[in-house]
Structure 1
Amino acid sequence: MTDLDQLARALGRSLKQLRVRRGLSLDALAARAGVSRGMLIQMEQARTNPSVGTVVKVADALGISLTTLFEQGLRPAVRLTPPGRAVRLWSTPAGSHSTLLAGTEAPGPLEMWSWRLMPGEGHTSDPHPPGTTELLHVTSGVLTLTVDGESHEVPAGTSAAFGSHVAHGYRNEGGEPVEMTMAVSVPPPR
């Protein structure tokens, strides 16, 4: 069994448990998340490798972090995530990638990410729920951060904070890799 297969199975188990615990039918969760009922069935049965955007939409609709979707068993008071357990959710053949490092549910989903963008590559994100905030810190290269159609250069050593309830994206327009750490805070479900 490959790592992706194990990841899909963990996602499927967690998704079904969380959906049932919240008393949501497949149809209700699909409507909340803006994804098809068929996609949710495939995810719960570990028959698909959904896009990061789809997984984010489902997590947002459940009011949880992505970490919660991939966790199994009881959560200890201190939860350590060794490098081999961090979840790489997005990557390109050139070497760009994002890795979910840690997350929690108090008071709403809070996630910490490690990103690497190779020259000429980028990633766009759909708007998150109102009240969502992102913090990022660039450790190498120059990131071009676009928020609601406006671009900002964020060089190494610089941090940025923004409301991510609007369309946003990250791009490397330079000649060296961009490395950054990001935190995403989603408000608790209403």
Structure 2
Amino acid sequence: MTKKVNLVTDANSIASSVNEAVSQRIKLYRKQKKMSLDELSRRAGVSKGALVEIEGCKANPSIALLCRLAAAMGVSVADFVDVSSKPTVHLIAEDEIPELWKGDNGGRARLLAGSGGPDMTELWMWEMQPGEKFASPGHPEGTLELFYVQSGALTLGVLDHLYTVNTGCSATARTDVPHFYENRAEHTLIFIMTVNEKAS
């Protein structure tokens, strides 16, 4: 019983430290680029109030929101969570890999590694339980995502089209349009995803 409580406490503490790091780095990059809250709000399409909450570490920004903020500032999400590459080799320990999405049924998405922005590449590991879904309004123009399904079946929705990527199969998709990932099967879905985004 005590062990379970400790695990929950550890998970909450890790999430809190990720949020704190993200809020500090967003503030840092905004100041480095001499960008006001109003300007970042306009560029990212995010309310000024939401930005104040994020920078004050009072909000838990979604992946989609982090993507919009990163694109508006010409950096990458990996820069925000400090898993971007550094010369010449940057080793990232397992306990340093941030979890940036949690599903309602226990799924999660972790940003394993990434390069700095604005031209950036990110490596993600997704685990989705049956019935879980993640939707995105679309990334900057030209963004390409690569998928490899380790187990289960990924339902990939891009615009009005649905695709099924089965265990052991791969896919590529332009994701500068609305898209989603979903587990419509009865078993756990695990897939690796690489995101490649070029500066406009």
Deviation of the 1:77 alpha carbon: 2.0
Does structure 2 retain, via aligned residues, the 8 Å contact 1:63–1:109?
no
**Between structures 1 and 2, the one with greater helix share:** 2
TM-score (norm 1): 0.92
Greater shift, 90-99 or 155-164, is seen at 90-99
Q: Distance in 2 between matches of 1:4 and 1:171?
A: 23
Q: Find the partner of 2:115 among 79, 104, 116.
A: 104
In the aligned structure 1, how far is the partner of 2:117 from the partner of 2:101? Answer: 25
Any conservation in 1 of the 2:78–2:116 contact (CA below 8 Å)? no
Q: What CA RMSD, in Å, does the superposition of the two structures yield over aligned residues?
A: 1.8
- In the alignment, which residue of structure 1 is the partner of 2:97? 86
Identity %: 34
Match of 2:173 in 1: 162
Q: Counterparts of 1:39-50 in structure 2 under 5 Å? A: 39-50=50-61
Q: Report the counterpart of residue 69 of structure 1 in structure 2.
A: 80
Q: 1:56 aligns with which of 67, 72, 85?
A: 67
Structure 1 unpaired stretches of 5+? none
Do the aligned residues in 1 keep the contact of 2:104 with 2:132 (CA within 8 Å)?
A: no
How far apart, CA to CA, are the structure 2 residues paired with 1:160 and 1:40? Answer: 35
One-letter code of the match for 1:64?
Answer: V
| Structure 1 Cα separation of the partners of residues 57 and 134 of structure 2 | 25
**What is the TM-score when the length of structure 2 is the normalising length?**
0.88
Partners of 1:33 and 1:183 lie apart in 2 by 23
Moved more, 102-111 or 165-174: 102-111
Check whether the contact 2:75–2:117 (CA below 8 A) recurs between aligned residues.
no
Which whole-Å CA distance do the structure 2 matches of 1:57 and 1:116 have between them? 23
Which residue pairs with 1:185 in the alignment? 196
Secondary structure of 1:12's counterpart equals: helix
For residues 102 and 108 of structure 1, the distance between their equivalents in structure 2, rounded to whole angstroms, comes to 14
- Number of positions where the alignment pairs a residue of Structure 1 with one of Structure 2: 188
Q: CA deviation at 1:89?
A: 0.8
Tell me which residue corresponds to 2:144: 133
Say whether 1:118 aligns with 2:108: no
Kindly report which structure 2 residues correspond to 1:18-37, keeping only aligned pairs within 5 A, or say none. Answer: 18-37=29-48
1:50 is paired with a residue whose SS is coil
